[in-house]
Amino acid sequence: MISLTTISQTVEMEFRKLLLASGFFLASWVLAVGGQNLPPCSFPAIYNFGDSNSDTGGISAAFEPIKPPNGEAFFNKPAGRAADGRLVIDFIAERLKLPYLSAYLNSLGTNYRHGANFATGGSTVRRPNETIFENGISPFSLDMQTAQFLQFKARTADLYRQAKNPSQRSALPNPQDFAKALYTFDIGQNDLSAGFRKLSFDQLRAQLPDIVSQLAIAVHRIYEEGGRTFWIHNTGPVGCLPIQLFYNLNPPRGFLDDHGCVKAQNDIAVEFNRQLRDRVTKLRAELPQAAITYVDVFAAKYGLIGTAKTEGFAEPMKVCCGYHVKYDHVWCGNKGSASGREVYGASCQNPSAFISWDGIHYTQGANQWVANRILNGSPSSIPAIPITQACHRH
């Protein structure tokens, strides 16, 4: 007769074998999800929605042009970007071997054959209740940007049909490319920044679900128009922007974290990102034909801030462009007065050594550092695949 002990040992051995087999299967699945054994995608175009972190000329075209020394480190002149050179969206275009994106609102010198950029500096996810002349909030919120995209797509189809020869069509987006394009989102930071100005932390936290919901609605609208590949950035560590301490030179004990960032503001950003990540998970179920990547920009930027010195950058709270001495602040490229004299918000001598360009936006060097971390498949992005394989559903 077989003893109960023998049966128990046999069951235990079989269970261990099953665990080993399951572990092997899981490891193989993770490798596949991580981007290995997947063919590269061929994106014919990029359509971007966002704020100044990815604006390549929209707000500059709609209102006053961005002034020098913006753009001078790479473009040798202002190029509609709030930086000394390229933004993360520019490095995305480079990685995909596509031209830099023309702003949708820019009427001259544009090329929309391989995509368009609907982002504008100061944009929010939700519709603003203030004007750009008050606090720099753009009137082109995310729902307006998606409406512009729908109009752009419809107008493209009309013009393509009306084109009389291949030469005319070559200057237009191919209508078939909309289904194959990459749709990128980098927006939400200004919703939080506006909330920090107007609301308590508890009031702002209560509004996060609606902000996330509005972003998801935009993704739904583009999916309904045939979009299938989405690359969605979470928001960065807003508490680490130098502007947060421009008028608070002596913060109280416990106000800052170990990296010198405003802890409570970063806590809000982390909660926003958690809710966005969970909503993206639901989007995958709601949009079964979509490939959606949740991109952890926060981890990349916070990692840079925490290792700034070892990565060859200056102190994260130091600003390259502008005049910022105690409570006197003259913004990058502007003239103003400080201590009874006229001053100019000039650039530092070596922008590539700084993380912060103007107190709000990153330098080209910092943008490139961040891009290298997220475009190769950040471990904390979901799924952790490189952008060149983002068209594959998981």
- For the annotated catalytic residues, the residue numbers are 52, 358, 361
Tell me the C-alpha distance between 226 and 124, whole Å.
24
* Whether the Cβ atoms of residue 235 and residue 125 lie closer than 8 Å to each other: no
Residue 357 tokens read as 């360009």
**ω into residue 78 within 30 of 0, thus cis?**
no
* Whether the Cβ atoms of residue 268 and residue 330 lie closer than 8 Å to each other: no
**ω into residue 351 within 30 of 0, thus cis?**
no
Give one DSSP letter per residue of 92-158, joined into a string.
Answer: HHHHTT-PPPPBTT--SS---TTEEE---TT--SSPPSS-HHHH---S--HHHHHHHHHHHHHHHHH
Residues in the chain: 394
Distances (CA, A) of 180 to 44, 96, 131, 232, 234: 7, 13, 36, 16, 23
Q: Which residues touch 122 (CB under 8 Å, ≥6 apart)?
A: 51, 52, 59, 132, 136, 137, 138, 190
Tell me the C-alpha distance between 293 and 383, whole Å.
6
Closest by CA position to 370, among listed 170, 180, 233, 165: 233
Give one DSSP letter per residue of 212-231, joined into a string.
Answer: HHHHHHHHHHHHHTT--EEE
* Whether the Cβ atoms of residue 100 and residue 91 lie closer than 8 Å to each other: no
Can you point out the beta strands (E) in 222-326? 229-233, 291-295, 323-325
Distance of CA 63 to the CA centre of its chain: 23
